[in-house]
Each structure stands twice: as structure tokens, then as C-alpha cells.
Amino acid sequence: MKVINSRTEKRTAYMTVEVEPSEVEEFMDRAYKRMVDSVEIPGFRKGHAPRGVLEQHIGHDNLFEEAKQELMPKICQQAVSEQKLDPLDRPMAKVTQKEPLTIEIIVPLRPTVEIGDYKTIRIQPEKAEVTAEDVDNFLEQMRLQYANFAPSEGPVQSGDIITVNVVGSVMESPVINHRGVQLKVGPGLPSEIPELSEQFIGMKKDEEKEFKLKLPADYPNKLIAEKEATFQVKVTDIKGINLPELDDKLIKSIAPDIESLDEFRQRVEQNLQIEKEQQVQYEFEEKLVSALIERSQLDVSPIMIESEAARLIEDAKQQLRASCKSQEEYESKLNEVPMDKVRDEYQGIAERRIKWNLVLAEVARAEKIDASNDEVAAEIERMIQGVSGEEKERQRQQLNQPQYLISIKSILKARKAIQLLVDIATSPEAAETQEDTKEDKADKPQKEEKDA
């Protein structure tokens, strides 16, 4: 075997390998010895037919295909070793020519990471503030959840459930034709055409209307996305929303342990405050890691990103399948998904996830951060909290398998690395440095004016 062409770009090695005829012959002979014992050939006992007879019986190409099963991995392994490559995963290979046997090999290489100076990152988290408006909005949404509906003649208002006929055309070609479809009226509904339901506000039962809307960029049918559509609609039924009074009586029915609306508002505010703090903390950590990624030099093979994106898409498909009652329903919903857009979106998610993992792993390595067996065991118990009986024990055994233990340990180390970044960025010294920077920026225009 000899490598006749080799190049590396974006942490991906590309090689063209030519295999000596004698090597091919060796693998063909091995394939013959594997197959001769299992192929029945008239006139010969199993295992005793000469290679030429076997090859004539099954065909040269079939014998070669059997030889490839062993030849391709061995040649790839030899090429990787000779080129002193550091592969991330198994090489991908294909035969491009049979005589002489020529193979193209693509090898995704391990990413390289030059970590940036994380000890000088200076970011402070935003304040987590819950306003009276936030509480009011929550209470209004709660009223909507406990609303009831009654037949109405209209006019339609936000929150109503209506039955409509909808015909939509783009350049005079019908693209939407729904009769007797139910819609809940409100901002952003339905998600396919977020502005559609708002057009029904103010209409009465049996009223017809014509209007134009621009279809959104993420409209499922990409051929007409962002095109202007003409809609002809008719309201055939209205179920008007009746909102309950926001009073002590409603609160008691929802939360029997609470005595009054004022007390309920306080609890809502407390819960919203906790949620807000968690959201602010998450966004703060996002900024920290993003800042570190920007300071670092990362070189990642596109194949690694594509592989991670494919895994994420498969996970999403599994979740969709689990939510469907039948294979037909699953396939129908899957056909509605714009897969090109989904792939692009998941490519971005995959790249971001990979870079997150790389920089945090490097911080953990630099700071000698580790996770003990006791911490891993405690994390497993946290993960199966809420599960009981045999299922709990089954999940515990599964999570104690080596591949899961490695993953859990990596997660714990990443959390510790993030906490270290938080501690550095929010230390008193960091806060003082930020304050000094602000003062310098504030003084600078004055100084420049004085100099002028």
C-alpha cells in the first residue's frame, strides 16, 4: 500500500491510497477461505472447492465484496498509522478504481483547542427583577386557563375559539383550502401564519372577509415562504371566552392553602423571582462561555459537527415518534417538517455544543478539575429521582455502564468549570476592575475635550 495523495484541512485528512496487487490477492484468498465452508457447489464437498471454482460459482465481484469487509478497515488503519494521524472517529473510505485498487479515505481528526485567557474575563450578571406587570401578566394567563366558552354571535375577541373556512392564494393559485377548521384567537396563533388569527378579531358569525398577508420565512412550504397571499375567510361559529373574576374565590379554588388574592400575588412574585434568577444565571453563563470561545482558537472537523447534528436530529425524531399515536401520524408530521432548514439549524446547535464542551474540558484540564466517584453516584441518584420500583433499578444499572459514567463525569466537570468562570468574573477584584473601566470610559471624552 502507498499513499499517493494526502492533504489536511479543517481538521480533516483526505488521502488517496493505492493497494499493491499482492495485497489485494492476499485479502481475496482470505475471503475465499471464509466463504468456501459455507457455499454449496455441485460436485464438491463443503470447504473443498478450489478458489477458481468458487469464484466462477459466485462471481468475482461477490468475492471482492467479501474481501473488502476486511481489506478496507486494515488499509485505513495502516494509512492512518503511516501518516501519524490522530483520528477522532473511524475513517470513511470508498473504492474509486479497481485496477490498480485505489481507495479514497477521509479521516476526521481530533479538534485542536488553544484556550483563551479566561482569568481576565470580566462580566457581571444582570439583575433579576420581577415587576408588577410580570405578575399581572401571569395572573391574566391563569385566568385564560380557567376560562370557559359559550356560543356567541360575536364580535370575535382575543381568546375566543372560532370555526372558520379559509382559502389562501399566492399569485391566484390556491395554496390553502381549509373548511371547518378551529382556531384559538390570539397573538402568534396559529404558529404557521402568526398574524392570521388576529384578522378575525371584530368579525361576527357568518361574516366574510378578504385580506392580504405576507407568509413567514419559516412557512413549511418553502416555495411560497415570504410570498404575499390573499385570504378569503368566513367565520361559521364562535365560542366566546368567559374569563373568571380574579378574586379570592378563584384563588381558593386554585390554591386551597392560600387565603387571599394578595397572598397569592406574593407567591406568584416569589416563584417568578426564582424563575427569573435561574434565567438570568443561565444567560450569564452563556455570555461567559461565549466570551471564552471568542478568545480561544478552535479547529473542528466539519464531519464532527455533521455527526453531532445528525445525532441531535435523530433524537428529535425519536421524541416526535413518541408523541404520535401511530406510524402514519409520525410520517405525516415528519413530512411537514422543512428538513433543509432543520439541518441548518441543528448544524449551528451542534457546532455551538461542541465548542462549549471543548473549552470547558480545557478549563477543567488546566485547573485540574475532576469529579469523584461519590459525586458521580450522587448525580445518578439525582437523575433517577422520581422513578420508582424496578424501573428505577433498571435506570440505575444502565447509568452505571462505562459509557454513561464517562458522560456523567464530563457533565460534572463542565459544571465545575462554568462555576470557576463565574467565580472569576464576579469576584470583588473583577467588579472593581469593571468599575474602573467604566470610570475610564466616562472620563475619556472629557479628557479628549480638554486636550482639544
Average pLDDT, the chain: 89
Cβ contacts of 214 within 8 Å, gap of 6 or more: 226, 227, 228, 229
pLDDT in tens, 89-142: 899 999 999 989 999 999 999 999 999 999 999 999 999 999 999 999 999 889
Cβ contacts of 113 within 8 Å, gap of 6 or more: 296, 297, 298, 358, 359, 361, 362
Identify the pLDDT of residue 154: 86
Cβ contacts of 212 within 8 Å, gap of 6 or more: 228, 229, 230, 231
What does the chain come to in residues?
452
For residue 444, is pLDDT > 70?
no
* CATH number attached to the domain at 296-432: 1.10.3120.10
* CATH number attached to the domain at 148-242: 3.10.50.40
Identify the pLDDT of residue 379: 96
pLDDT class of 452 with cuts at 50, 70, 90: very low
Residue 236 C-alpha cell reads as 361559521
Domain boundaries along the sequence of the chain? 2-110, 148-242, 296-432
Q: How far apart are the first and last CA of the chain?
A: 74
pLDDT in tens, 248-280: 999 999 999 998 999 999 999 999 999 999 999
Coil/strand/helix, residue 40: coil
- Of the candidates 428, 414, 321, 300, the one whose C-alpha atom is nearest the C-alpha of residue 367 is 414
H or E element in which residue 162 lies: strand 161-170
Question: Do 2-110 and 296-432 come out as alike in CATH topology?
Answer: no
* CATH class as words, domain 2-110: alpha beta
pLDDT class of 443 with cuts at 50, 70, 90: low
Sign of the CA dihedral with 16 first, then 18, 23, and 28 last: positive
Q: Model pTM greater than 0.75?
A: no
Identify the pLDDT of residue 322: 87
Cβ contacts of 3 within 8 Å, gap of 6 or more: 15, 16, 17, 79, 82, 83
pLDDT in tens, 130-177: 999 999 999 988 998 898 899 999 899 988 999 999 999 988 888 888
Q: Which residue has the higher pLDDT, 144 or 16?
A: 16
Say if CB 182 and CB 153 are below 8 A apart.
Answer: no
Identify the pLDDT of residue 86: 92
Coil/strand/helix, residue 353: helix
Cβ contacts of 339 within 8 Å, gap of 6 or more: none
Average confidence (pLDDT) over 412-430:
90
